[in-house]
Every structure is written in C-alpha cells, then in structure tokens.
Amino acid sequence: MKFKSPPVNSLSLEFLTEFSIGLEKLENNRACRGVIITSAVPKIFSSGLDITEMCGKSVEHYGEFWRAVQEMWLRLYGSNMVTVAAVNGSSPAGGCLIALSCDYRIMAENPKFSIGLNEAQLGIVAPFWFKDTFVNVVGHRIAERSLQLGSLHPAPEAQRLGLVDELVPEEKLMEKAAAVMAQWLALPDHARQLTKTMMRKAVLDRLVAHREEDIKNFITFVSKESIQKSLRMYMEMLKKRKS
Ligand SMILES: CCCCC/C=C\C/C=C\C/C=C/C(=O)SCCNC(=O)CCNC(=O)[C@H](O)C(C)(C)COP(=O)(O)OP(=O)(O)OC[C@H]1O[C@@H](n2cnc3c(N)ncnc32)[C@H](O)[C@@H]1OP(=O)(O)O
C-alpha cells in the first residue's frame, strides 16, 4: 500500500476511512498474506493525524474522526497479515503509530527523516493505546522518556532505540522490505498468526473494552478551549516556519 495524499499524507477522516477499507479488503483476500506500507510522497511517510480535523469542528465530527482513528489501528495492529512498514520519510505521531503497528519497520537512513510520538509538543497527550503500542516495541523506559519529551528521533537514533528495526539506503528500501516479507512469509501462517495474536491481544482488547469511553475522553479533551488554542498555535507555527 502506498500512501499518496500530498502534501504530507496527513490522516484525515477520508484518508483513514480509505486506509481501513483497503486493509479490510486485503485481509479478506485469501491470496494476500502480507502488506508493505510505504509512501508515494517524497520525504514524508505520514505527518500524523490531520490537525484540521481536530480544530473548530463539531462534537459529532470529533466522535466520527476518533472512531476512524481507532478503527484504523484495530485493523492494522490486529491484522493477520504480515505487515512491514517501509518508512521513506518523516513520520510523526499518528504516522509513527502506523509504523509501530506493523510487524517490522525499515527506515531510509536519512538523518533528516524523524519518527516518534511528539504529541506532548503539541500540548496534547498520546492516548493509552498509542502508548501501549509504543511500549510493546521499545520498552517502558524508552517510551516514557520519549513520550514525556514528545521526541522526534532522527532515523539513526530511532534505530538505536529499537523504534525502527533497521536502516537502509533509500534506494534499497523496497528491495529490503520485500526480502523481509519473504522471510516472514516462509513460516506457516497459522503458527505466526497465533503467536502475533498472543503478543498483541491484551493491548487490542483494552481498547475494544473501552472504545466508547475513549471516544468520549477524546471529545472532552479536544473540545477544551486550552487544547483548541494549543492546536491552533501549532498550525500557525507550521505555517510560519514555512514562510
Ligand atoms: C487524557 C485524555 C487523552 C485523550 C486523547 C486526546 C488527544 C490525543 C489526540 C490525538 C493524538 C494526535 C496524534 C497526531 O498525529 S497529531 C499530528 C502530529 N503531527 C505533527 O506534529 C507533524 C506536523 N508537521 C510537520 O512537522 C511537517 O509538516 C512535516 C510532516 C515534517 C513536513 O514538513 P514540510 O516542510 O515538508 O511540509 P510543511 O510543514 O510545509 O507542511 C505542508 C502543509 O501541510 C500542513 N500540515 C503538516 N502536517 C499537518 C498535519 N498533521 N495536519 C494538518 N496539516 C498538516 C502544513 O500546515 C502545510 O500546510 P500549508 O497550508 O501551509 O501548505
């Protein structure tokens, strides 16, 4: 799957819906045993959740948007397929969550590309299931420090922390992703799938059990004037940085 929503592959309601439907179709296709996720937008894997979806909208819209974010994660993290992220650009916040939800992460070895859960820098808090996914990849201590600081890690540091599994030159990224996919597909599906479920079930079940409460929390949080102000200021900062 190649993300192609310029300029930055931000995860809008429309993008998330299309991504989830795409994953569902592949999941139901018995001929498809694995998926490599990458980007067709130069230098950006995904800029994370579309901030405009969280600014100045109705309570109903926030609820619909958050359900779509949850749905995407439940499908990807809970997928029976082998999932490989070929991270060919920067990948903050929700973009990082997509990579973290895959079975294996390969990143282009460009120190200008960074990845991490930087929510704290926006004045918002990564939800518990973003945090759980992060902890399952890098461990509690690294996740705690990185989350509190809202760190975006340049590719070499991300590899040192275990946030990505390996770095390769950008031109070799897809070749390497295909080789990794072949290695994982060489195992019998049932054994690999049951093992994956065993490793991920508790974290998936936690969101499933608290899904409606999580939506309510998101709506309450994002509707606060202080949070709206932080998000507006962050968007202004992005625009100013450009000019
Ligand atoms: C206690 C209870 C808790 C309950 C839970 C509550 C809340 C949690 C909620 C949510 C979790 C949030 C997750 C997220 O994913 S938030 C998004 C975080 N993303 C970022 O911080 C990335 C911001 N973007 C960048 O850093 C850069 O754009 C880039 C990706 C590095 C690319 O840089 P580049 O220089 O190539 O591009 P520009 O910066 O010029 O951007 C082009 C264009 O796109 C707009 N844009 C960028 N990112 C976003 C985005 N995420 N959403 C919307 N729009 C974005 C940018 O403003 C430019 O727009 P313009 O109109 O100026 O062209």
Whole-number pLDDT of residue 241: 87
Quick check: is 152 in a domain?
A: yes
pTM for this prediction: 0.98
Number of domains in the chain: 1
Average pLDDT per 10 consecutive residues for the chain, totaling 243 residues: 98 98 98 98 98 97 98 98 98 98 98 98 95 98 98 98 98 98 98 98 98 98 96 94 75
pLDDT score at 207: 98
Q: Does the annotation count 49 as an active-site position?
A: yes
- pLDDT tens for 14-32 read 999 999 999 999 999 999 9
**How many C-alpha atoms does 60 have within 13 Å on its Cβ side?**
0
Distance CA 235, CA 122 (A): 9
Strands 114-116 and 153-154, sheet pairing:
antiparallel
For residue 194, tell me if it sits in a domain.
Answer: yes
- Candidate list 9, 53, 76, 118, residue with the active-site label: 118
pLDDT digits 0-9 by tens, 134-170: 999 999 999 999 999 999 999 999 999 999 999 999 9
The answer to whether 196 touches 103, Cβ cutoff 8 Å, is yes
Active-site residue, selected from the candidate residues 94, 95, 116, 150: 94
For residues 47 and 8, the answer to whether their CB atoms sit within 8 Å is: yes
What ipTM score was computed for the predicted complex, to two decimals?
Answer: 0.97
**Domain span including residue 88:** 2-232
Classify residue 238: in a domain, yes or no: no
Q: Residue 52 CA: which ligand 1 atom is closest? A: 53
Within a domain: 191: yes
Cα of 92 vs centre of ligand 1, distance in Å, is 8
